[in-house]
Amino acid sequence: MIPLERLQAEVARRPYPLIFATISGAHLYGFPSSDSDFDLRGSHVLPAREVLGLDPGRETIEMERTDADGFELDLVTHDARKFFGLLLKKNGYVLEQLHSPLIVHSTPEHEELKAIARGCPTRFHHHHYLGFAETQWRLFDKERPRRIKPLLYVYRVLLTGIHLMRTGEIEANLARLNEEARLSHVADLIAAKLAGPERATLDEADAPFHHREYERLRQELEAAAEASTLPERSPARPALNDLLVRIRMRAMS
């Protein structure tokens, strides 16, 4: 269960106004364990004096905490200018954060930003997902015993990338992605992760099969990018710039 009120209290203590804060990580991806931490991501708005003055404000705010009751929180927010810039850098991760349905804090600007960001995906976003999948595969492959969590991240990343290339839509929940992919072994891994601890492990005999699947899905992502109708360049920059200017003007008033 997501402790929404507790998370809302946490974001209310942030030093700057928020455009949005959402839940990312395993909860967004659809395979949290009972002891998973909560990853909050979002965007804040620096006051005018910290944007215009000699002393810059905190462009990125990071906070990690573990409470006595075992509640773990990892919170990261970026100033609007930095976050909007990341949206234009073919960064699938920030698109997933922005469009997360697990909303802790929202504003009208959040809704406007989501609408604008639908024009951010490009064919070149597949490089983000290929690179992220490779990183997660290396993490999975170097550990002994091998853990289920990084393997699930591999599948999640590749299937998100394939779905984005084919539809232009962001979907980060692995269970929903697998409704289309219909991979029984992914469903089994999700069930094992949900039923077990955060560091649940994989039967070593299954590793070669998953390596073949990893390579197959990488090729599928490459093919989906090649056939994608997404643009090579995002047309969203002018609209993002306009929204940022309006946000800054309101912060100055």
Same-domain status, 15 and 107: yes
Same-domain status, 96 and 11: yes
Same-domain status, 201 and 221: yes
Same-domain status, 35 and 53: yes
CA atoms lying within 13 Å on the CB side of residue 209: 9
Domain count, the chain: 2
Same-domain status, 13 and 75: yes
Q: What is the pLDDT of residue 159?
A: 98
Same-domain status, 13 and 111: yes
CB 122, CB 90: distance < 8 Å: yes
This prediction has a pTM of 0.95
Structural domain boundaries, residue 170: 125-227
Q: Which residues of 156-166 are buried (b: 16+ CB within 10 A; e: fewer)?
A: bbbbbbbbbbe
Same-domain status, 136 and 206: yes
Same-domain status, 142 and 189: yes
- Per-residue pLDDT tens for 215-224? 999 999 999 9
What CATH number should be reported for the domain holding residue 42? Answer: 3.30.460.10
Same-domain status, 166 and 140: yes
Structure tokens at 184: 């029984």
Same-domain status, 116 and 130: no
Same-domain status, 46 and 60: yes
**Band of residue 145 on the pLDDT scale cut at 50, 70, 90:** very high
Q: What is the pLDDT of residue 82?
A: 97
Same-domain status, 115 and 238: yes
Quick one: how many helices (H) and strands (E) in the chain?
Answer: 12, 5
- Per-residue pLDDT tens for 75-110? 999 999 999 999 999 899 999 999 999 999 999 999
Q: What is the mean pLDDT of the chain?
A: 96
d(CA 104, CA 20): 8
